[in-house]
Amino acid sequence: QFLFVVTFTTFLLCCVDYDVLFANRPLNHSRAGERPKVTLPDAILPGPQCAHRIQASGWIIFLLVMAAVFWLYRLVKVLCSLLSYWEIRSFYTKALNIPSEELRSHSWQEVQARLIAVQRRQQMCVHKRELTELDIHHRILRFKNYTVAMVNKSLLPVRFHLPLLGSVVFLTQGLKYNLELLLFWGPGSLFQNKWSLRARCKRAGARQELARQLARTMVLLGLANLLLCPCVLVWQLLYAFFSYAEVIKREPGSLGARRWSLYGRHYLRHFNELDHELQARLSRGYKPAAQYMNSFTSPLLTVLAKNVGFFAGSILAVLIALTVYDEDVLTVQHILTAITLLGLVGHLLRACRSFIPDEHMVWCPEQLLQRVLAHIHYMPDHWQGNASRSETRAEMAQLFQYKAVFILEELLSPIITPLILIFAFPARALDIVDFFRNFTVEVVGVGDICSFAQLDIRNHGNPQWLSAGQTEASVYQQAENGKTELSLMHFAITNPRWQPPPPSELFLSHLKEKVQQDAAAVPPAQRILAEGPLGASLLS
C-alpha cells in the first residue's frame, strides 16, 4: 500500500497533462470544426518528459528520498518479524504440540495450560519451577499494564480544556507511538531492554536528574516530530484519501458510525486483559453504547438534515428526469458537476442520519447506560443518576467517538503531537519518573512489571470497594474507579485455575457470598411475572 500510494501520487503530480485532460488545450490530431475527443493515453506524458519533471522538482525528490528510507526501514522490520513468527510457529508445533492447521480450534486457555505443563516438564524458564497464569500475562502485557495504570492515575497529559470546545481528550496512534518510544523501547528510554527497568530509575536520589533528562528527551522528540511533520502530514492525507474515499462512496453512513477511541480502550481496559479479551468485551458493549449515544438528538439538526435532504433530492430528481428524457441535457455546461454535487450531498446526508431520531425510540437513558456499564465495567461516579445530562453524553463521547472524529484526529496528529511533546509532557517528567520507581516490582522469571498488575488489593485496593482493614493503600497508591478489584474479578473468572494471594482470595470469597445473598433475596421469576398484568394474564 505504501509503495502504491507513493508511486501513484508521483504519477498524478508529474506524469499527467491536465491541460489536455481538462480540454484546455486542443490536441494536434483533432480536425478543424470537430469537437476534440480526448483519451487517457493523450493525457499521459511520455516517460522521458515525466522523469524530467520529477528531477526538476526538489521538493518531490526530497519526499521520494524520505519515502524510500522509511520503506527500507519497514522492510527490515518486516523481515525481522518474519523470523520471530517462524520461531513462534516452531514453538507451537514442537513444544506445545499444536499444529498450525489446528491452532484456530484451540482457545487461549488451552494454549496457556499446555505452556504451564511444558514448563513443569522441561523448565523453559530456568529461574522458577512453575509458571502461573499471572506470570504469562505479565510477560505478554508488561508495557500495556504500565500504560493502563498511567491512564488510570491521570498521569499522561492527554486531557485539555480548550475555549469553546471545553474538555477534550487527545490520544492518537502517533502520540501513543511516541510515548512508547519515550518510555519503553526507544534510545534513552526508562527501560534498558524488554524486561528490565534501568537501575538508575529505581534510585530515589537520581529522580531529579532523570526527570531533567526525560524532559529534555521529550522536547528533542517533539522537535524531531516537528521536523518530520510535513512528510508525515502528506502521508496521512494521502493515505486517508485513498483509504476512505471509496468507503464513503459505498457506505456514506460509515462516517456517522462510532468506534471505541484509543483513550477509551486504555481507560476501560483491565490490568492483565489480553487484546482479544478486550475486543470481545467492547464489541458486546457496542450496541448498547450506540443506542445510548443515539438517544440524544438535536431538534435543530434534525430539521436541517430533513430539509436539506428534501431540497437536494428534489433538484437531483428533476435533473435526472430531464437527462432520461433527452441525453443532450448532459452537454449543458456544469450540468454533470451539479448532478455530482447533489448526489454527494445526498450521500453525506445519509451519514447524518444519526441526527434524525428513530420514531419508535423510547427515552430511557438510565437503563441504556446501565446496559453499557454491564460490558465496559467502568464509568465515573458522577454518571450515576445523570445519564440524561449532556455532560455525561459528552464524556461518553470521549470514550465512544464518531469515526469522522477519529479520522480528523489522526489527520491533525502530525501537527498536534509535537506541541504536546514539547509543551505538555515535560511538566509531567518528574511524576512519570516517580511513577515508574514507586510502582515497579521485580518478579523472578518475569522481570520488572507494574505493581498494579499484581492485582494486590492490600497495596492497591480502593477502600470504597473493600471491607475495613483489607487495604493499606494510600490515595496515591490505590487504583481509581475500582480498577484493581474489577481486574482481579475479571482475571479470576477468565483463569479459574489461578490461585490468587490470600488477601485477594479473601476479597473474592466475600464477593461470592455477597452475590449469593443478593441472588437469594431476589424474588423468583414466576412471582415477578405474576405481579405484572401481562404475567397474570399469561399465567392464568
- pLDDT 10s per residue in the chain (540 long)? 889 989 999 999 999 988 888 777 776 655 555 556 677 888 889 989 999 999 998 889 988 998 999 999 999 999 999 999 999 999 999 999 999 999 889 999 999 999 999 998 888 887 888 889 999 999 999 999 999 999 999 999 999 999 888 899 999 999 999 999 999 998 889 999 999 999 999 999 999 999 999 999 999 999 999 999 998 999 899 888 888 877 776 776 677 789 999 999 999 999 999 999 999 999 999 999 999 998 887 777 777 777 777 777 788 788 788 888 777 777 777 777 787 777 777 666 665 665 566 666 667 889 999 999 999 999 988 998 899 898 999 999 999 999 989 999 999 999 999 999 999 999 999 999 999 999 999 998 899 999 999 999 989 988 888 766 677 888 899 999 999 999 999 999 999 999 998 888 888 998 888 888 887 887 665 555 555 555 555 444
Cβ atoms of 98 and 118 within 8 Å: the answer is no
Strand partners, 401: 259
- Indicate the residue among 82, 105, 128 that finishes a domain: 105
What pLDDT sits at residue 338?
Answer: 81
Classify residue 469: in a domain, yes or no.
no
Cβ atoms of 444 and 128 within 8 Å: the answer is yes
Q: How far apart are CA 114 and CA 109, in angstroms?
A: 9
Q: Are 94 and 196 contained in the same domain? A: no
Q: Are 342 and 422 contained in the same domain? A: no
Strand partners, 16: 44
Q: The cell 470544426 sits on which residue?
A: 33
Q: How far apart are CA 431 and CA 203, in angstroms?
A: 14
Q: Are 160 and 249 contained in the same domain? A: yes
Q: The cell 471509496 sits on which residue?
A: 246
Classify residue 382: in a domain, yes or no.
no
Number of domains present in the structure of the chain: 3
List the grid coordinates of 347.
Answer: 450521500
Q: Are 270 and 408 contained in the same domain? A: yes
Q: Are 308 and 168 contained in the same domain? A: no
Classify residue 522: in a domain, yes or no.
no
Classify residue 127: in a domain, yes or no.
no
Q: Are 313 and 268 contained in the same domain? A: no
Per-residue pLDDT of 341-396, as tens digits, reads 777 776 666 656 655 666 666 678 899 999 999 999 999 889 988 998 989 999 99
Q: Which residues of 378-400 are buried (b: 16+ CB within 10 A; e: fewer)?
A: bbeeebeebbeeeebbebbbbbb
Q: At what angle do helices 207-250 and 58-90 cross, to 10 degrees?
A: 100
What pLDDT sits at residue 373?
Answer: 93
Per-residue pLDDT of 451-465, as tens digits, reads 999 999 989 988 888
Q: Are 249 and 339 contained in the same domain? A: no
Q: How far apart are CA 466 and CA 472, in angstroms?
A: 11
Alpha-carbon 443 to chain mean position: 30
Q: Are 270 and 189 contained in the same domain? A: yes
Q: Which residues of 429-454 are buried (b: 16+ CB within 10 A; e: fewer)?
A: bbebbbbbbebbeebebbbbbbbbbb
Classify residue 261: in a domain, yes or no.
yes
Alpha-carbon 369 to chain mean position: 22
Strand partners, 449: 441
Strand partners, 161: 167
Classify residue 165: in a domain, yes or no.
yes
Q: Are 42 and 97 contained in the same domain? A: yes
Q: How far apart are CA 124 and CA 136, in angstroms?
A: 13
What residues have CB less than 8 Å from 400, skipping those under 6 apart? Answer: 258, 259, 260, 261, 264, 289, 290, 293
Strand partners, 317: none
What pLDDT sits at residue 534?
Answer: 53
Measure the CA angle with vertex 146, ends 127 and 397; round to 5°.
Answer: 150
Alpha-carbon 179 to chain mean position: 15
Which residues form the domain of 313? Answer: 299-355
Q: Running DSSP on this structure, what letter comes out for residue 524?
A: P
Q: Which helix (H) or strand (E) holds 229?
A: helix 207-250
Distant-in-sequence contacts of 489-495, Cβ < 8 A, 24+ apart: 490/270, 490/273, 490/377, 491/133, 491/134, 491/137, 491/270, 491/271, 491/272, 491/273, 491/455, 494/109, 494/277, 495/109, 495/112, 495/133, 495/134
What pLDDT sits at residue 531?
Answer: 57
